[in-house]
Chain A
Amino acid sequence: MLKYILKKVLLALPVLIGITMIDFALMSLAGSPIDMMTGPRMSQEAIALRAAEWGLDQPVWKQYLGWMGDVLQGNLGYSYESYEPVTKIIGEKLGPTLLLMSASLVVGLLIAIPAGVYSAIHRYRKRDYAVVTASFLSSSIPSFFLALILVYIFHVKLGWLPSSGMTTPNTGGGMLDVLRHMVMPVLVLAVSISGSNIRYVRSAVLEILEMDYVRTATAKGLGKRLVVGRHAWRNALLPIVTVIGMQVPMLFGGAVIVEQVFSWPGLGLETFSAITSRDYPVVMGVCLLSAVVVLAANLLTDIIYALVDPTIRYD
């Protein structure tokens, strides 16, 4: 088992390095962030000095190696904007994003799994079509549009929920306040997660329902509830585990848009502003972090899969 995990980690490493190379190459193509701050008030010498300070006068490959060397020592560099260490910025913003992502994942799966199983059991009936059509609808609504409609209804019209931020300014905040701020962003993300997953769960369960052991269970006279609840459902869990792993990159992307619309003080909002202001160390840091998270999620999926499924061999 250990050997299997080690092998997977070793396979993921070149992918990770490749991703950072692509990032770096993309950003060097964009031109120097110094261009953004040049103006009549900055002399040529000052610009050259700044470039030398940030290492931007070096060839790209040297910049990359320097960055990589720092990363290996746990230093992600300093923001061009605020001069704060990137690790500190990410550390501050990660919490709210993780809170948002995990809550959305849980809510999304709580909708998707029962709906998918229900739909599979009632295959080709009206109820099945209704669930599938609803799932298409929810994965087809642009998340920002759904966000706008929710703001329109629950903030503007009804005044029930706050429309931006994580806590109400000038109050102590507190659990309840954060929860109230979370409702709409989580709902938006959960809808898009459940949309694609309902169909996935449905087809996973359908596949299991055609298995011989399910037919055996039915043949020996077990009721539908027992067949599905005890035999089919547990085996369908396996493919569902993979889906959870696949959600992570999608969630990360969704968070950028949702955080933007709701001004949620997380990594997505920070990333978007860093991208538009060409704050490269911050963008590189976020890219690295997200790549690590995504690869770790893939790895975890593989491991859980190997643990649960006896037909997968470790070596």
Chain B
Amino acid sequence: MRNMATIWKRFCRHRLAEACLVILLVLGTMAILAPLIAPYSPTAPDMKAMNKPPSAAHILGTDKIGRDMYSRVLYGMRVSLMVGALATVISTAVGVALGLVAGYFGGWADRLIMSFTDMVMSFPYILLVLVAAAIFQPGLWTIILILGLVNWPGVCRLVRGNVLSLRETNFIRSDVTAGMPRRFILLSEILPNTLAPVLVYGTSVFALSILDEAALSFLGQGVQPPMASLGNLLGAAQSLSTLTGKPWLWLPAGVVVIVLVVCINLVGDALRDAMDPRNSQ
């Protein structure tokens, strides 16, 4: 990996990405601190304030049983970010492990892993997720596991390709010649050298997971109410009267999803650019 300071300096040349990083940090902090900064409980109904448009007391209004929408969006963001982050961690871990094995050992292990990867990749992804979500009780942990276990093939291919080319480099060859143990070569020599592209790829998996969670929860197959997620908040807009008459119920959640995903993607893109050794202007 290249020098961290250089990467940071080159990352900062992308002003837009820098702004996105700040936005992400702010939103992330708000999500983590949601229990402290939310003015109301996200699930407690208030019969005296139902269906209220935004006001001083409820800055994003209230829903049909009087829950404060600002608090619900905060908690929803927290849930969506958590689903995205954990699903990314799972799929990256699975992908890296399988990719390392396939690339380094080759032979039948490689063939087996790659045909399994092909299978998962040629499956229309949302179909697999929907079937799995319908089968195992939909809920927070189900959706995290499903997204995590479906998203790894890309990482796996990426790591395998990197390992294949690293295996031919002189420093790995000299390790082999020097009789270094396999574990050392794999974990201390090859792994750190594939980390940069995996990190960049991870950002797009993160963004995709957030979108998929939203889509699934929107269809009622993801995070279940009363727990709020950005997707099931948007699901409220499926009723025409909400869509037309109460935009405060769905517009903020939609804007937050878009902002999160756009920012993650732009940061990932700038990171890719900053780490690309071919860009040396």
Contacts and interface: CB of A to CB of B under 8 A. Distances in A.
Contact of A253 (B118, B127, B207, B238): B127
Interface stretch (B49-57, B96-104, B253-261): B253-261
Contact of A136 (B126, B131, B218, B269): B269
Given A14-B115, A156-B243, A249 B123 contact: yes
Contacts of B244: 152, 156
A287 interface: yes
A252 B127 CA distance: 8
Contacts of B119: 15, 18-19, 22
Interface in B201-259: 207, 211, 214-215, 218-219, 234, 237-238, 240, 243-244, 250, 254, 257-258
A286 interface: yes
Contacts of A26: 131-132, 135
Contacts of A145: 214, 234, 254, 257-258
B77 interface: no
Contact of B265 (A136, A148, A152, A295): A136
A257 B126 contact: yes
Contact of A133 (B16, B243, B250, B257): B16
User: Number of contact residues on B: which range applies?
Assistant: 35 or more
B11 to A, nearest CB: 16
A291 interface: yes
A152 B243 contact: yes
A268 to B, nearest CB: 9
Contact of A142 (B122, B254, B266): B254
Nearest to A292: B122
B8 interface: no
B250 A148 contact: yes
B192 interface: no
B118 A139 contact: no
Interface centre among B136, B214, B265 (most CB of A within 10 A): B265
Contact of B215 (A19, A142, A156, A298): A142
A104 interface: no
Contacts of B181: none
B184 interface: no
Nearest to B122: A294
Interface in A261-315: 261, 271-272, 275-276, 278, 283, 286-287, 290-291, 294-295, 298
A252 B243 contact: no
A29 interface: yes
B261 A144 contact: no
A151 B219 contact: no
Interface string B9-53: 000000010000000000000000000000000000000000000
Interface in A4-21: 14-15, 18-19
A136 B266 contact: yes
A283 B132 CA distance: 12
A256 B160 CA distance: 32
B116 interface: yes
A99 interface: no
A102 interface: no
A166 B211 CA distance: 27
Interface string B116-152: 1011011111110011101110000000000000000
Contact of A19 (B122, B126, B258, B269): B122
A271 B124 CA distance: 12
A27 interface: yes
B132 A18 contact: no
B262 interface: yes
Contacts of B115: 14-15, 18
A167 interface: no
A142 B243 contact: no
A30 B122 contact: no
Interface in B40-97: none
A23 to B, nearest CB: 7
Contacts of A140: 207, 211, 258, 261-262, 265
A252 B214 CA distance: 18
Contacts of A144: 214-215, 218, 234
A252 B125 CA distance: 9
Contact of B123 (A254, A283, A291): A291
A194 interface: no
A290 B130 CA distance: 14
A202 B254 CA distance: 29
Contact of B124 (A249, A275, A278): A249
A271 B127 contact: yes
Contacts of A287: 123, 127, 131
A143 interface: yes
Given A27-B135, A140-B261, A298-B122, A133 B266 contact: yes
A119 interface: no
Contacts of B207: 140
Interface of A: 14-15, 18-19, 22-23, 26-27, 29-30, 129, 132-133, 136-137, 139-145, 148-149, 151-152, 156, 249-250, 252-254, 256-257, 260-261, 271-272, 275-276, 278, 283, 286-287, 290-291, 294-295, 298
4 closest A-B pairs by CB: A253-B126, A30-B135, A140-B261, A252-B124
